[in-house]
Each structure stands twice: as C-alpha cells, then as structure tokens.
Amino acid sequence: MSDLLAVNLLVADRTYRIRLKVEDEEVVRKTAKKLNEQIAQFKSQYAGKDMQDYMAMVLLSYVTDTQSAAPALDDRELTLSLVRLESQLDSALEDTGSL
C-alpha cells in the first residue's frame, strides 16, 4: 500500500481523500474536473436544485452515454473477430489447395 498516493479531490463541493496509484492520478483528476464541469453546466440550466439532484443528472448522463457507446464497441469487437476468422479460413483453404 505504500505505492499509493493520497489525493484530495473536490467533487460537488465536497472534498474526498482517496488513495490511488501514481500513474492513475492524472486520469482521476481529469475525471473529477469533468464531473465538476458537468455539475456547473446543470446548475446553470436547472437553477434551484440541490447538489444531489445535480449529481443524479451527471450520473444519468454518464450512464446514458456509456450505454449508447457500448453497441459501437461491441460492433468493432465483432468485426475484428470476423476478420480474424476470415483470415484463418483463408489460410486453411490455401493449405488444402481449395482457394
């Protein structure tokens, strides 16, 4: 555990002390910054809500974006698998002289 770095992050007006790997610090800080930017955006669009409402909006937005991106990722993986399979079939057919 000594290779973990203690970091204070401000997210949604609260400070969180977390421990993380040194190589993960930049990504975590960028993520926290993005969260705070999205919260600020929702605050400007929907005045009068409390912080829990804004956090819920950010979470819903994130999950929606993730869900809509998932099929594209699956399609790419499927395409790569099919290309590999086609290549294997071509090689097998060449070996048998059927191609």
Q: Is the pTM of this model over 0.75?
A: no
Show the CA angle centred on residue 23, arms to residues 26 and 74, nearest 5°. 80
Query: Would you put residue 47 in left (φ > 0), alpha (ψ -120 to 50) or beta?
Result: beta
Task: pLDDT band for 63, please (50, 70, 90 cuts).
Answer: confident
**Residues 26-40: b if buried by 16+ CB within 10 A, e if exposed:** eeeeeebeebbebbe
Distance of CA 10 to the CA centre of its chain: 20
Amino acid (one-letter) located at 57: M
Query: Of the segments 22-31, 67-76, 82-91, which one has the largest average pLDDT value?
Result: 22-31
Which pLDDT score is estimated for 47? 87
Tell me, what's the pLDDT at 2? 64
* Block residue for tokens 């191609």: 99
HEC secondary structure over 40-54:
HHHHHHCCCCCHHHH
First to last CA, the chain: 58
